[in-house]
Amino acid sequence: AQTVTQSQPEMSVQEAETVTLSCTYDTSESNYYLFWYKQPPSRQMILVIRQEAYKQQNATENRFSVNFQKAAKSFSLKISDSQLGDTAMYFCAFMASGSARQLTFGSGTQLTVLP
């Protein structure tokens, strides 16, 4: 069974600054995907970024990028130029390939962007 750990329940950052959210995972699988989902107060789950484990290059999506350290089983999310609209709960999630697309979620990090 997989586990996903987010050790930072809450974080805050000043608008326009950079913040990094941490995530570690434990698995014996060799092929898998990692995700960051955002959940704003509206409760809607929104995919922020994904990483295939077989790719060495870190994924980037505009202001969002990841630092994927496969050997350390670490998957952190960096948000650059933070905006007020980035205020949300952020969940790290793991999916093993061929697992019927079952996602295992971490407990989340509540990020608040301060004006």
Partner 1 sequence: NAGVTQTPKFHILKIGQSMTLQCTQDMNHNYMYWYRQDPGMGLKLIYYSVGAGITDKGEVPNGYNVSRSTTEDFPLRLELAAPSQTSVYFCASCFQGLDTGELFFGEGSRLTVL
**Residues interacting with partner 1, by CB under 8 A?**
4, 6, 9, 33, 35, 42-45, 47, 50, 91, 93, 95, 100-108
Place of tokens 């994927």: 68
Query: Which of 103, 114, 90, 94 lies closest to 8 in space, CA to CA?
Result: 90
Nearer to partner 1, 11 or 81 (CB): 11
Q: Would you mind telling me the total number of residues written for the chain in this entry?
A: 115
Nearer to partner 1, 18 or 102 (CB): 102
27 token code pair = 């698995």
70 token code pair = 């496969």
Nearer to partner 1, 72 or 101 (CB): 101
CB of 103 to partner 1, least distance (A): 7
CB of 33 to partner 1, least distance (A): 5
Question: How many CB atoms within 10 Å of residue 6?
Answer: 18
